[in-house]
Amino acid sequence: MIHASSVTKRIKKQLILSNVSLCMEGIYGLVGPNGAGKTTLMKILAGLTPMDEGQVAIDERSCTKGKYVKAHERIGYLPQDFMVYPNITVEEALDHLALLQGMMDKGERHAAVAEAIQKVNLNGHETKKMSELSGGMRRRVGIAHLLTRKPSILLFDEPTAGLDIEERIRFRHLLKQLGSEHTIVISSHIVEDIEFLCTKIGVLKQGQVLFEGTPSELKSRAKGCVWEYCIHPEELDDLIATREVVQLLEEEDGIHARVFSKNGGTGGRRVAPRLIDGYLAVVRRGEPR
Amino acid sequence: MKAYIEWMRTAFVFDRKTMGGAFFVPPAMFILSLLLILFVPRKSPSIYDNVIIIQGLFIPFSGWCLIYRFGELYEDGAQETLVPYYRQWVWIDIVRYSFIHLLGVVVLSGAFMWKYGVSSLSFLNLIHFILLTFFYLFFSTASLVLTKNTNIALTVIFIYTVLEVATLGTFMPWPHIFLFEPPVWEPMLINKFIMLTLSIFLAAFITIVWISKGDRKPQ
């Protein structure tokens, strides 16, 4: 469990994070619109960026030294666009990263790298050059690198951004699998991924925490605000112009449009909210918890 | 200690893999300098040309491999992963390449003295070689961390060295770092040594701070 208390960060007098307090455990999803401060918070947790105020504790033990989180051996951070040593093979890159971690013994290094490659299903790609890998494969190498360090907490910044659908699904399964052994924090704006993976969610907007709780608690924030309309294709433009349509599904009897609104119109029926509705309800309302 | 030596050996092997042919440029310059010192016959006063060869042909490459090594930090997507490690090992990287290049300077100086006599190279020359080696090492890394671009850093070093050596210090107006004539302990030389020493400290400071700092821009 990683606990951030009153974390504040300013850059050139602009408030990036304001008094952020979150308790991250299980598979934790950090969501929010662009510019919410998700990546800054992840970098602070990873010890890459200093904070101005606040404390971070892992398993109730403070790991803040000065303005930095100093827990590199316990926290692994995968940036959005992981790429190292483009001219060498996956195995050589992982071996060298393990060496940089201080794993001096060659045999120990090789065993750790082989185990990590196995865990992230990179078998058969060990001899490929890093520059030849797809975005998803590179992120797998990034995870393999983190696993050689055996950290208890893994931080993933937008792990599925820019991946094709198949790769995204594979990646989600891999993260789910890792969640059984590690505390995972995922920053994402893809609510679908969060819904699939996370057991707890934090919503950030403009550097403030708007919500923290379970997915069902987030869904309940939109209770009574989601309507479904069954319409003909020619009515769609009118509906989009007048209502906030969050999802469209083409069925045999017409188009089923899910609308986020406090008041339903004629022909609409109130339906159970989904995670994206809860997210919208929280972000739109905008006030802090 | 044994573990550190093994670490350094593995790191050299890794640098050779990442750099490819570029890794062999400094050794090639060393061999070329050695051959020129040993086999190109020179008579006084042109024997000092061999000292210029050590200064202009071998020593400027003392930061070459470190530019490539630290240049990996500035590849897209590498910084956040590598900064915590490079921060930790930066001194070891500097020590291993300083050691190799100072060893090269010692061998070339030895070869020069063996060929032209011990008195042909003064103690001041040796001090100057050492200062120049550290100057190029840190000037190279500082250029890299400031420009964040391997090619620009290499170009800066290359243009500066070629202009200075090819024109024997007559082209550029500022205080020169090379010695194109046998040294004499006088204010000019003292100033040169002071300037080199201060530049080394400044460039070392920039290198260490920038590598430790990494990229701290918010996103």
Please report, in tens digits, the pLDDT of each residue of chain B (219 residues total): 777 888 888 999 999 999 999 999 999 999 999 999 998 877 766 778 888 889 999 999 999 999 999 999 988 778 888 988 898 899 999 999 999 999 999 999 999 999 988 888 899 999 999 999 999 999 999 999 999 999 999 999 999 888 888 888 777 776 688 888 888 899 988 999 999 999 999 999 999 998 887 654 433
DSSP for A204-229?
A: EETTEEEEEE-HHHHHHTTTT-EEEE
pLDDT at A43: 92
Residue A230 shares a structural domain with residue A107: no
Give whole-number Cα distances, A31 to A24, A159, A189, A197, A204, in Å. Answer: 13, 12, 5, 13, 6
Q: Single out the residue in A219, A238, A264 at which a domain terminates.
A: A219
Contacts B90 to A, Cβ<8 Å: none
Residue A152 shares a structural domain with residue A120: yes
Lowest mean pLDDT among A26-40, A196-210, B204-218: B204-218
Residue A141 shares a structural domain with residue A238: no
Q: Report if residue B218 sits inside a domain.
A: no
Residues from B in contact with A at Cβ < 8 Å: 3, 6-7, 10-11, 14, 17-18, 20, 72, 75-78, 80-86, 88-89, 214, 216-219
How far apart are the C-alpha atoms of B195 and B135, rounded to whole Å? 10
Q: Report if residue B67 sits inside a domain.
A: yes
Residue A182 shares a structural domain with residue A205: yes
Is the whole-model pTM more than 0.90?
no
Contacts A104 to B, Cβ<8 Å: 3, 6-7
The nearest CA of chain A is from the CA of B23 a distance in Å of 14
Residue A32 predicted with pLDDT over 60: yes
Does the CB of A170 have a partner CB in chain B at under 8 Å?
no
Q: Single out the residue in A219, A234, A258 at which a domain terminates.
A: A219
Please report which helix (H) or strand (E) contains residue B106, including its range.
helix B79-116
Strands A153-157 and A200-205: unpaired
Residue A46 shares a structural domain with residue A124: yes
The nearest CA of chain B is from the CA of A183 a distance in Å of 19
The one-character DSSP state at B186 is S
How far apart are the C-alpha atoms of A146 and A151, rounded to whole Å? 7
Residue A97 shares a structural domain with residue A206: yes
Contacts A162 to B, Cβ<8 Å: none
Contacts B214 to A, Cβ<8 Å: 48
More confident residue, A284 or B14: B14
- ipTM over 0.95? The verdict is no
Residue A16 shares a structural domain with residue A78: yes
Q: Which domain does A134 fall in, by range?
A: 2-219
Residue A195 shares a structural domain with residue A134: yes
pLDDT at B44: 65
Residue B167 CB burial class (10 angstroms; 0-12, 13-18, ≥19):
exposed
Residue from B59, B28, B29 nearest B130 by CA: B59
Does the CB of A162 have a partner CB in chain B at under 8 Å?
no
Residue A156 CB burial class (10 angstroms; 0-12, 13-18, ≥19):
buried
CA angle B3, B7, B8 (to 5 degrees): 120
How far apart are the C-alpha atoms of A14 and B142, rounded to whole Å? 30
With left for phi above 0 and alpha for psi between -120 and 50, is residue B89 left, alpha or beta? alpha
Does the CB of A189 have a partner CB in chain B at under 8 Å?
no
Q: What is the CATH number of the domain that holds A49?
A: 3.40.50.300
User: What distance lies between CA A189 and its chain's CA centroid?
Assistant: 7
Q: Report if residue A39 sits inside a domain.
A: yes
What total number of domains does chain A contain? 2
Q: Which domain does B137 fall in, by range?
A: 2-212
Output b/e per residue, B55-94; b: 16+ Cβ within 10 A.
Answer: bbbbbbbbbbbbbbbbbbbbbebbbbbbbbbbbebbeebb
Q: Report if residue A49 sits inside a domain.
A: yes
Does the distance separating the beta carbons of B76 and A83 come in below 8 Å?
yes
Does the distance separating the beta carbons of A100 and B81 come in below 8 Å?
no
Residues A123/A153, Cβ–Cβ less than 8 Å: no
Q: Calculate what percentage of chain A has a pLDDT beyond 90.
A: 44
Lowest mean pLDDT among A181-190, A191-200, A237-246: A237-246
Residue A75 shares a structural domain with residue A201: yes
Q: Report if residue B193 sits inside a domain.
A: yes
Residue from A64, A275, A121, A287 nearest A188 by CA: A275
pLDDT at A94: 95
Strands A53-58 and A68-69: unpaired
Residue A49 shares a structural domain with residue A161: yes
Residues B37/B53, Cβ–Cβ less than 8 Å: yes
Rg from Cα positions in chain B: 18
- Chosen for mutation from A83, A143, A156 (greatest number of chain B CBs closer than 10 Å) is A83
Q: Report if residue A82 sits inside a domain.
A: yes
How far apart are the C-alpha atoms of A8 and B63, rounded to whole Å? 40
Per-residue model confidence as pLDDT tens digits over A56-95: 999 889 999 988 998 888 999 998 888 899 989 999 999 9
Residues B109/A97, Cβ–Cβ less than 8 Å: no
How many Cα atoms are found within 13 Å in the side-chain-facing hemisphere of A91? Answer: 11
What total number of domains does chain B contain? 1
Name A257's bridge partners: A229, A248
Residue from B47, B22, B26, B21 nearest B36 by CA: B47
Helix (H, G, I), strand (E, B) or coil at B76: coil
Residue A136 shares a structural domain with residue A188: yes
Does the distance separating the beta carbons of B85 and A104 come in below 8 Å?
no
Q: Report if residue B219 sits inside a domain.
A: no
pLDDT at A213: 94
Q: Report if residue B217 sits inside a domain.
A: no
Residue A141 shares a structural domain with residue A228: no
Does the distance separating the beta carbons of B11 and A99 come in below 8 Å?
yes
Residues A269/A231, Cβ–Cβ less than 8 Å: no
Pairs from B163-168 (Cβ < 8 Å, separation ≥ 24): B164/B56, B165/B52, B165/B55, B165/B56, B168/B52
